[in-house]
Amino acid sequence: METWYYVVESIDGDYANLRRTDIESDDLKLVARALLPEDISEGTQLKYELMQYTRL
């Protein structure tokens, strides 16, 4: 399985916009907050692996 790294760019209600940090990309990924750790805020770094997001 692959591992991807993200940073939380913004939070909008029940969703968060994530930007990949392990590759050059300006694209944002919209993710439901229910899938993310509860204590995230803007600037939080995340790792996505085995279909789970965890804080770094």
Question: Amino acid identity of 9?
Answer: E
Structure tokens at 47: 């790792």
Burial class (CB in 10 A: 0-12, 13-18, 19+), 48: buried
For 22-56, how does the pLDDT look when each residue is reduced to its tens digit (9 = 90+)?
999 889 999 999 999 999 999 999 999 999 999 99
Q: What pLDDT score does 1 carry?
A: 77
- 26/13 Cα distance (integer angstroms): 22
Q: What is the pTM of this model?
A: 0.91
Q: What pLDDT score does 27 carry?
A: 95
Q: Residue 26 in 3-state DSSP?
A: coil
**Domains, the chain, ordered by start:** 3-55 (2.40.50)
